[in-house]
Amino acid sequence: MSFSRGPRRRGRRSFPGSAARRRTRDRFFIRAPRVPFRFYGRGLAQQDPGLRTAGDAERGSSAPEAPRIWARSSQRNGRSVCRGSGLGNVCDGRCGMLIFSFDYPPLDGGIARLCSELALGFSRRGVRVEALSRLPASPELDAAIPTVRVTRARPLMEAAAFGRLLSRRGGGPVVCGLWYPEGFLATIAGVRPRVVLAHGSELMPARAAWRRGLWRRMMRRTLLGADLVAANSAYTKGLVESSAPGCRAIAIPLAVDHARFSPPAVGGVRAAIRARLGLDSSKRVVLTVSRLKRYKGHETIFRALASLDGTVRRNFVHLVAGRGSDRDALEASARDLGVAGLVRWLGYVPESGLPDLYRAADIFVLCSREDPEQQEVEGFGLVFLEAQACGTPVVGARTGGIPDAVREGEGGFLIGQDDHAALAGILARLAERPEEFEAQGRAARARVERECTWERYVERFTRELEAAGVKLG
């Protein structure tokens, strides 16, 4: 017995498989109007139908309606106005600097903060800056920096951003927040000049063994093809150079908003903040702000507190701000070590609440571990600078890029990885001689004002771009 599918309907493509498989296909793929294809280098890419070039305008040609995932454009006063989710920026002729990062406000985290500060810093210096990111929008930042935002659904997010990159016609550098996906997309799109930001853990070998070879080749191509790779520390620069020997890499330690993160204005402010947090004014407050992951070293702090003499230990309280997948395991560890009563789990604290949290602390501690097998390391540690800017001394582990953020003798203390005994000694000194740590806090603030402001960071970034022959547009 034989079966026939029957005649194919004109204008319809035939897909093999059952009706269920076809329904799955229709559910996960968007039907888009047919648009021309162009070759860019070795790759085949779909041209964004909603973005008209100057040549199209001169020829009077019109583009078909664009799928919703693309950044669309229209014409206003003879200039192209690029639109993304209701936000617009004006691009006439050559484009300026483009900050391309899916980690961008209103998302929090160090990468989002770095990219937003780069955009604002170069804009204040008179450079024409645009941003390409994903939804949701950030009304305040998007009003200051013209921003195109694409869908956050993957892989449509990458496809939409790739189409936006293909529409770019020369101009200033494209600054990519990470080597993947942003840097890799910019590489295969062929946009130049390209600058890739490097942070640390993303440069380590992939966890899955089957993908390590492919990951390594993609990373090497992206980093070698960049005009400049800007690492956040000397440690991260070393990771870049070992991943892509011969690439142009530089190290620029991060900075902090020293106006927002500042010491208490008057002596009674710290007491008022502690009262609002429900803290006993007689307690010594140890603060940790990070994701709740085991490599962040929370257990080192628990062991240090547990090793203190009982009378000294009772004078401490440990505030833990952040959320993460290892919270249950960390709470169990605190109970097993007998310090659960000293630990207060604050959960997620928004950016607006961080300055007061740093001001309320006597000392900030983050003892991150270096674990290459799990792709975990502290590439720099922006929280160290935030705490020091608020006049709070810090303790960090001598791992990863932390030594670039913490300087011993100037508001900082460095200990070995997992060295809870050394940390216990520092905490015991804090209990005995708090005035010593107050002086260290003042030294930390002075160092931030002298070396670690975003203005100085952008100045150095500009010098490195000029040294690499990258024009700002």
- Domain-embedded: residue 402: yes
What are 182-206's pLDDT values in tens digits?
999 999 999 999 999 999 999 988 7
pLDDT tens, position by position, 426-457: 999 999 999 999 999 999 999 999 999 999 99
Q: Examine residue 259 and state whether it is found in any structural domain, yes or no.
A: no
State pLDDT tens for residues 15-65: 444 454 444 333 333 333 333 333 233 332 333 333 333 333 333 333 333
**What is the pLDDT confidence band of residue 268, given thresholds at 50, 70 and 90?**
confident
385 and 313 both lie in a single domain:
yes
CATH number, residue 87: 3.40.50.2000
Same domain, residue pair 218 and 297: no
By mean pLDDT, which of 11-20, 228-237, 316-325, 350-359 is the weakest? 11-20
**What single-letter DSSP state applies at residue 93?**
S
pLDDT confidence of residue 266: 72
Decide if 22 is inside a domain: no
Return the minimum-mean-pLDDT range out of 32-36, 110-114, 326-330. 32-36
pLDDT band, very low/low/confident/very high, at 207 (cuts 50, 70, 90): confident
Contact indicator for 205, 375 with CB cutoff of 8 Å = yes
**Does the residue 121 lie in any domain?**
yes
Average pLDDT over residues 94-120: 92
The pLDDT value recorded for residue 210 is 75
Domain boundary among the residues 200, 223, 251 is at 251
pLDDT at res. 60:
37
CA–CA separation, 315 and 291 (whole Å): 26
92 and 234 in a single domain? The answer is: yes
* Residue 299 and residue 374 in one domain: yes
Residue 91: beta bridge partners? 80
14 domain-assigned: no
Judged against a pLDDT cut of 70, whether residue 155 lies above it is answered with yes
Distance CA 114, CA 357 (A): 21
* Whether 200 contacts 375, CB under 8 Å: no
- Do 338 and 225 share a structural domain? no
Choosing from 251, 286, 306, the residue where a domain stops is 251
* 365-399 confidence digits (pLDDT tens): 999 999 877 778 999 999 999 999 999 999 999 99
Residue 11 located in a structural domain: no
In the block, residue with structure tokens 């674990």: 371
Which of 47-61, 92-106, 356-370 has the highest mean predicted lDDT (pLDDT)? 356-370
Answer yes or no: do 239 and 134 share one domain: yes
* Same domain membership, residue 274 and residue 398: yes
Mean pLDDT of all residues in 219-228: 97
Residue 95 pLDDT exceeds 90 = no
Average pLDDT over every residue of 98-125: 95
Confidence band of 181 (pLDDT split at 50, 70, 90): very high
The average pLDDT across 279-298 equals: 95
111 assigned to some structural domain: yes
**pLDDT reported for residue 11:** 46
> What is residue 339's three-state secondary structure?
coil
Confidence of residue 77 (pLDDT cuts 50, 70, 90): very low
DSSP 359-397: HH-SEEEE----BGGGTB--SS-HHHHHHHHTT--EEEE
Lowest mean pLDDT among 129-133, 268-272, 338-342, 410-414: 268-272
Least confident of 60-69, 293-302, 331-340, 381-390: 60-69
pLDDT band of 281, cuts 50, 70, 90: confident
Most confidently modeled range among 23-27, 111-115, 166-170: 111-115
C-alpha angle 320-291-339 in degrees, rounded to nearest 5:
35
State mean pLDDT over 274-292: 93
Range of the domain at 86: 37-251
What pLDDT sits at residue 209? Answer: 76
Residues 136 and 167 in one domain: yes
Say whether both 202 and 328 belong to one domain. no
Q: Would residue 258 count as lying in a domain?
A: no
pLDDT level of residue 4 (50, 70, 90 thresholds) = very low
| Pair 166, 217 in one domain | yes
With a cut of 50, say whether residue 12 has pLDDT above it. Answer: no
Give the pLDDT score at 156.
Answer: 96
So what's the pLDDT on residue 19? 54
Domains in the chain, number? 2
Residue 271 pLDDT class (50, 70, 90 cuts): confident
Are residues 209 and 285 both part of a single domain?
no
The per-residue pLDDT of the chain, averaged, comes to 83
What is the predicted pLDDT for the residue at 205? 80
Q: Is 295 exposed, middle or buried (0-12, 13-18, 19+ CB in 10 A)?
A: buried
Same domain, 204 and 300: no
- How many other CB atoms are found less than 10 A from the CB of residue 68? 13
